[in-house]
Structure 1
Amino acid sequence: MELPDPDSVSRREFAKAAVALGGVAGLSACLDASDADGGGNADAADGGPLDGVPAGDPGEAPDRQHAWDDALDRDDAGNVVPPTHHVLRYVDVDRGDAPRADARERIEAAFTDLERAFERSAAGLLFTVGYSPAYFDRLPGTLPESVDLPAPRPLTGLEDPSIDEADALVHLAADEPAAVLAADEALFGGATAANGVPVTDASGLFDPVDRRTGFIGAGLPREHRDADGIPDDAPVPEGAKLFMGFANGFAESQATEGRVTIEGGPFAGGTTQQVSTLRTQLDAWWSQESHEQRVAKLFSPTHADEGRVGEYGERLGSDPGVADLPEDAVAYAHEEGVVGHAQKAARAREDGKPRLLRRDFPTTDGDHTGIHFLTLQESIGDFVAVRDAMTGADIADGTAVGSRINNGILQYVFVRSRGNFLVPPRGLRALPDPDPRSEP
C-alpha cells in the first residue's frame, strides 16, 4: 500500500491511510505529517511522548472492558461520539514452554502499561480484548452456562463467510491516529514503549493472524469515494458517517452497556462480541436509487413519505423512530412494496429495548468499501435474533407469488467473514480459563 501525497489530501484522509498501512512506516508517516503542522513528535516513533495525547492511570479503569460510553463525548442530540480510528488485531496465543501463569502475567502487564501510557478516552486510547470459541476449545474445561459463545456460522442461505477462528481479538480505538499506531506497535510490533511509557514485551505470546482497520466520522466516507464499491462522484453528504450516505449510532437504537453485560457466573461484568466484515457494493445504490428510495430501504417507507430523516439523518436526533412503525412487517411490505432495514431490525427488540450495542465502523480495507460490523450483546443468541430480523426471511416467505418486495439493503451488503468472542471483565482479560473458578 502506498500513502497519498500529504500535500494533496486532507489531514484526515492521510491519517486514515497511515492507520491502514500500520507498522513503523505508518506511524512515522503520521508523525511526519503532524510535525509538518507543528506537532513536535520527534521521538514518538521510538516510543516517545505523543504531542497532545494524555497519559492514563490503570487504577481508574472500570471492571467492564466494554464500558466506553462514559469516556466518550456526546453530540448535541445525546448520541455517543465514537473514536475516529480503529484497528482490529486478530492473534493466536503462543505460550511455548512458558508456564501459563507467567504468560498471563506478562500479557496483563502489557495491557496495564497501555493503560498507563494512554488516558482512557478518545483523546488517549480505548481497547478491549476478547477470546474466541476456538481458544476455549483448546483448553480443559468448559465455559459456564452463563456464557453463550457458540462457534460462528453462516446465518442465512445467502451467506458463505470465512470463519474467524483466531484465539483473540484486540480492538484499539482513538481519535489520534498516532495513538492507535503506537499502541499497535507496542503490542504487536517492535516498539518497547508507547507515548513515553515502557510497555512490557508480550510479543512472543501473540502471533498476529490478521489486521483490519477502519474509521468513523462525519465527512470521512465522502473523502474516501476513491475506493472500489462506490462511484467516485457519489453525492455522499458531508455529514454522513456511512458510505450509504447516512448517520448511525442513534442513542435510542443502541442497547445500554448494562443491557449487554453478562450478569452471572465467573465472567459477570463481561460481554460477548461479534465482528462481521461486510463488503458493500453501492454503485446501484447511488446511481439508480433516489434519496427517498434510499431512506425507505434503510429506515422505512414512512420515513421517506414523512421526510423524517433529512439529508443524512440530522432530523432524527437521538431516535431513528422505528418503534412506532406497524408491527406486522409482512403486511406493511405488501402495502408499501418495500420494508426498511432499521424497521426490520426493530422487530427483535426485547420489551421495546434494543439488544445490541453497535460499535461498527466503515472500512476501505482491500481498497473496497465495507463495514466492520462489531456488536456487543449479553449473548450471541441476541445477535442471531437481531440478524434474523434484519434478514427478513419471513417477509420474503410471506410474499405472494409474483409480487416483489424490496427487502431493505440486503442486495448491497455481503458478509465476508464472521467471528464470535467473549470479552471478559478486566480482571480476567489475560488468557482466561473456560471456568476461572476451577483455577488452582
Structure 2
Amino acid sequence: MARKTRGISRRAFVKSAVAIGGAAAVSACLDREGNPDVPSGPDDLSSYPTRQHAWNDSLMTSDVGNVMAPKHHLLLPFNYTGDTPTPDERETVEKTLQSLEHAYERSHNGLLFTMSYSPAYFDRFDESLPDSVDLPHPKALSSFEEPELEDYDAIIHLASDYGHVVLAAEEAIMGKQDTLNGHEMAASFEGTFEKAERRTGFVGEGIPAANQDVDGIPDGDPVPEDSPLFMGFMSGFSDNQATEDRVTIQDGPFAGGTTQHVSRIRLRLDDWYVEQNREERVAEMFCPFHAEEGLVEGAGHNLGTDSQVDGECADRIDEDARTYGRIGHSQKMASVRENGKPIILRRDFDSTDGGEAGVHFVSLHRGIGDFEKTREAMNGEKQVKESPAIKQKVNNGILEYMFVKHRANYLLPPRAHRALPTPAP
C-alpha cells in the first residue's frame, strides 16, 4: 500500500536514523538531538548491580509512579565465531562491555544494556545447564502460529533516551570506532562475534504517532499522540509488571540472572482502527467492563499504576464471553498471577523494521516456563471451547491483530558471568 508523505519530525528522524545505523546515522542523529552532553560512567564499576537486568532504579518514573522505558532500543543477535570460548575471548568480551559502562552512565540519559545467551549457545558444551536454569529451546505457543524458531548464540539489548547513544554503542562494539563518548574502547566483538541482524524500535508518548506511516496501520493517522505504543493504549503499568526480584534466578551459579524471551511480532491494525470503535478497542485491550463503564480515558494514563483488571474484570471473564461475545487481553493476563502478582516483566517496544508496524516483545522471568504459561493464557482456550462467539483469534483479546514471526529464548546471566559463560561458571 502506498503511504503518504509528510514533514519529518525530530522523533521520526531519530527513529529512522536508528533503523538505518552506521557512522553517518550516528552523526546525523547526534546533530538532530542537539548534541546533548551525555554523562559518562564511573571509572570504578564495583558499585554496579550484580543483575544485568536491574534497570528500574536507573529509569524515570511518571507522575503516578509508572517506570518509563527508554525511548530508543536496539537488539543485536550474534553468532559466536569459534568452537568453545577461550579465556582470552572472555576477557575481550568483558572489556568491550566494561568499555560501554565507562563511556555512558547507566541510566535512561546514558545507556542501559544486557547480554544474554541462547540454548543453542550452551549446546556446544559437554556439561548441561544447572537445574536452577529453565531454558528450553523456543517453540510455537499456539495452534495458529508458525514462527521462525531462532538459534542465534547471543543477543545484546541496547536502550537509551538518545538515539545516537545506541547507534554509537553499536559501532563501538563492532570495532568500527575506537572511542565512545570521549572514552577509549579497550576491546570490541570483532573476531569473536558476528552480527546476525539488527532490530530497532521505540516506545514513548508521541513517538508511535510520529512514525505511523507504515504498512499495518491504516491511513488517517489513527494512532493517538498520547499513546506510547501503536495500539493506542499504554501497557507499562507498574503494578501489572513482575518486580525485578520476582524474575531473578535465586539459586545456583546463575543466581542474580534471569531468563529472557524475544519475539518479533507483526501488527495488522486496519481492522483494529477501522472496523472497531473505541469502546470495542477498550473491551478487547482491557475488558468489556472497562468499556461499558468508560473507565479508560485516552491511552489509559488515568488508570494510574494498575490497569484495574484483576478484580471484577478477571472474575467475570466467562460471563463476559457469554454476555458480550468478547474478552479482553488484560483480562486474560490477570489469570496468570501468583498471590495476585504478575510473574513476567515486559520490556517490549514498537518497531517499523522492514517498513511494517511491529513489536519486538522482550520479557524477563525466573524461568521460560513462566513466559510460556503467560503466553498460553493469552490464547483464551477455555473461552474458545465454551463460547461460540470467541474464536481462536476473533473476539479474543488482541490476538486478531498480532502475527508472531520469530521466537527466541535466552539466559541473561548476572554481570559476573555475562562474557561467554560456560553452563557451570
Range into which the TM-score falls when normalised by the shorter chain:
over 0.9
**What is the TM-score normalised by the length of structure 1?**
0.91
Q: Is 1:236–1:244's contact at 8 Å kept on the other side of the alignment?
A: yes
SS of 1:338's equivalent in the other structure is: coil
Q: How does 1:138-287 map to 2 (within 5 A)?
A: 138-199=124-185, 200-287=187-274
SS of 1:422's equivalent in the other structure is: strand
| Superposition deviation, residue 234 in structure 1 | 3.4
Matched, 1:79 2:34: no
Q: Is 2:314–2:331's contact at 8 Å kept on the other side of the alignment?
A: no
SS of 1:115's equivalent in the other structure is: helix
| Superposition deviation, residue 328 in structure 1 | 5.2
Structure 2 unmatched runs, 5+: none
| Superposition deviation, residue 403 in structure 1 | 7.3
| Counterpart Cα distance in 2 of 1:351 and 1:33 | 47
Which residue identity does 2:198 align to in structure 1? R
Query: Could you say which residue in structure 1 is the equivalent of 2:324?
Result: 336
Q: Is 2:175–2:188's contact at 8 Å kept on the other side of the alignment?
A: no
Query: Could you say which residue in structure 1 is the equivalent of 2:405?
Result: 416
| Superposition deviation, residue 28 in structure 1 | 2.3
| Superposition deviation, residue 435 in structure 1 | 1.4
Question: Given the superposition, is the C-alpha separation of residues 335 and 8 from structure 1 closer, same or farther in structure 2, using an over 3 Å criterion?
Answer: closer
Q: Deviations over 1:405-437 (max 9, x none)?
A: 71111110000001000000000000000111x
Which residue identity does 1:18 align to in structure 2? A
Query: Could you say which residue in structure 1 is the equivalent of 2:118?
Result: 132
Q: Is 1:148–1:379's contact at 8 Å kept on the other side of the alignment?
A: yes
Query: Could you say which residue in structure 2 is the equivalent of 1:17?
Result: 16
Query: Could you say which residue in structure 1 is the equivalent of 2:335?
Result: 347
Structure 1 unmatched runs, 5+: 40-50
Of the candidates 416, 419, 425, which is equivalent to residue 430 of structure 1?
419
Which residue identity does 1:263 align to in structure 2? Q
Report the more deviating stretch, 100-109 or 23-32: 23-32
SS of 1:279's equivalent in the other structure is: strand
Percent identical residues = 49
| Superposition deviation, residue 99 in structure 1 | 6.5
| Superposition deviation, residue 171 in structure 1 | 0.2
| Counterpart Cα distance in 1 of 2:294 and 2:101 | 45
SS of 2:198's equivalent in the other structure is: strand
| Superposition deviation, residue 201 in structure 1 | 2.6
Backbone CA RMSD of aligned residues:
1.7
SS of 1:210's equivalent in the other structure is: coil
Matched, 1:60 2:47: yes
| Superposition deviation, residue 151 in structure 1 | 0.2
Which residue identity does 2:103 align to in structure 1? A
| Counterpart Cα distance in 1 of 2:226 and 2:85 | 52
Matched, 1:327 2:347: no
Q: Is 1:234–1:286's contact at 8 Å kept on the other side of the alignment?
A: no
| Counterpart Cα distance in 1 of 2:376 and 2:30 | 44
Q: Is 1:255–1:353's contact at 8 Å kept on the other side of the alignment?
A: yes
| Superposition deviation, residue 164 in structure 1 | 1.6
| Counterpart Cα distance in 2 of 1:147 and 1:346 | 25
| Superposition deviation, residue 252 in structure 1 | 0.9
Which residue identity does 2:32 align to in structure 1? A
Question: After TM superposition, what 4+ stretches of structure 1 lie above 4 angstroms from structure 2?
Answer: 402-405
Question: Given the superposition, is the C-alpha separation of residues 89 and 326 from structure 1 closer, same or farther in structure 2, using an over 3 Å criterion?
Answer: closer
| Superposition deviation, residue 8 in structure 1 | 3.5
